[in-house]
Homo-oligomer: A and B are copies of this chain.
Amino acid sequence: MPQPAPPESPRYQQIYRQLREQILAGHYPAGTRLPPTRKLAQQLGVARITVSQAYAQLQLEGYLVTRPGAGTYVSPLLAATPAPDQPVQPALSGWGQRVVAHTHEPERPAGPPPSAGLIDFGFGRSFPHIFPYDVWRHLLARYLSTDDVMLSRYGSVAGFMPLRAAVAEYLARLRGVHCTAEQVIIVNGAQQALDILARLLLDPGDRVLVETPGYTDAYALFAVHGALLQPYPVDEHGFPVETIPAGATARLLFVTPANQFPRGGTLPLARRLALLRWAEAANALIIEDDYDGELRYEGRPVGALQGLDKTGRVIYLGTFSKVLFPALRLGYVVLPPALVAPFIRAKQVIDRGAPTLTQAAVADFITEGHFERHLRHLRHAYGQRRQQLVCALQERLPAGARFSPEPAGLHIMLYLPPGRDEAEVIRRAAEAGVRVYPGAAYHLEQPAPPAILLGFSGLSETEIEEGLRRLAVAVGDGVIG
């Protein structure tokens, strides 16, 4: 029988819902006669009309039938309800099987839950106290008015045009990218651009040249699309293009020229030009991931590889996650003209475009000068933090450990002396209250050289200093240095 229920929705809906559950659970088998409305109303202490409404709704939906003069019955249809069964295990497609094979469970914090005092050298976090939230609130509020029809319609698939134009202008001026606003497509994070490119360009069995260590999230995506990854170990100047065998062909090459991820290092002009020559000869396309090209702390950022490309072989990826905030989930891709239409069609059929409000606010953030001002603040703040980390590393970690001197990026990849046990270092560090991350996750070659990744963009200078002190203590007995 229906039970008294909380008061927040009309009483008849509760009676309806409980009767429905009981019918579906088989408590009232098909053909059962229900109590007359008057009687049930008395039992439940409600008005008869309330029960009548519930019966009427159930009748409307087909659960109950009335026989004139003979009362209300559970529909005979319900006898045919499939019996409770084992849950189905649906078969996965080839793509679905690859996604399970080539990815891991989304990261969950390992070990004990983070304590308040834990210092976490997580990568890719932004430092919340730097972002000008007051400006951002103001820009969002500008579009959140009842007079504005922008939010009441679906946006443009390729992105909000003023944002595309602002990005094109910004990239031309500060990154040396050659493009029109039409070549700029706004995506839900750079990873989405990679996904669409992989779908458009890769058939199972296609070869993709990648860096190692490298951006393994991208590689997982290529592998899920069935690509054969061909890893090239980078040196301190990035992708070793001269080691590609003559005549080797591939569909794609993925590269981080501005600051090799995660090792660090800028690809010199000679290698850039050689990459373009190779792509021409191999009939390949190059994906240039400029994930943090803006974040260089000395000298001027080196221009994009895309700016050297004259034949439309370079696809340029950028993101706002690093320079605004990660939770924004907004990135952009600059496409060769021949790929613009297929890319837009793919995005159209996939998700119909990124949220308009955020795009409008970012567009204003750029065109009104907040973005470059914010970048200056970021460069200053992150440059100081990197310097702090570098000094602490030099002071506390003696010979044998090494890292790139490139004054750029949001992390340092610390290579441990050969033979050290990376997992052991990470475990001991955790015990000492400092979380560092495994370099192995970024290496495709086996065995990978032992290394840990130290992201500094979410920490204060005091935390960096204290974190390194703990790290040195934790591993001081010979594990590092």
Q: Which residues of A contact B (CB under 8 A)?
A: 9, 13, 16-17, 20, 24, 57, 60-63, 75, 77-78, 80-96, 99-100, 102-106, 122, 124-129, 131, 133, 136-137, 140-141, 144-158, 173, 176, 188-189, 191-192, 195, 199-203, 206, 217, 220-221, 224, 268-270, 273-274, 276-277, 280, 285, 299-300, 302-303, 307-308, 310-313, 321, 325-329, 336-339, 341-342, 344-346, 348-358, 458
Contacts and interface: CB of A to CB of B under 8 A. Distances in A.
Nearest to A198: B93
Contacts of A137: 140-141, 144
Contacts of A106: 156-158, 344-345, 348
Copy number in this complex?
2
Given A88-B312, A128-B151, A188-B188, A342 B100 contact: yes
A350 B89 contact: no
Contacts of A144: 133, 136-137, 140
Contacts of A299: 57, 60
B195 A345 contact: no
Nearest to A359: B327
Given A13-B300, A75-B269, A344-B106, A99 B150 contact: no
Contact of A327 (B75, B151, B328, B339): B151
A474 B172 CA distance: 50
Nearest to A337: B87
A308 B458 contact: no
A311 B9 CA distance: 29
Contacts of A192: 350-351
Contacts of A206: 93
A200 B105 contact: no
A293 to B, nearest CB: 13
Contacts of A127: 152
A122 B355 CA distance: 19
A129 B152 CA distance: 9
B300 A269 contact: no
A84 to B, nearest CB: 5
A415 to B, nearest CB: 25
A206 B60 CA distance: 36
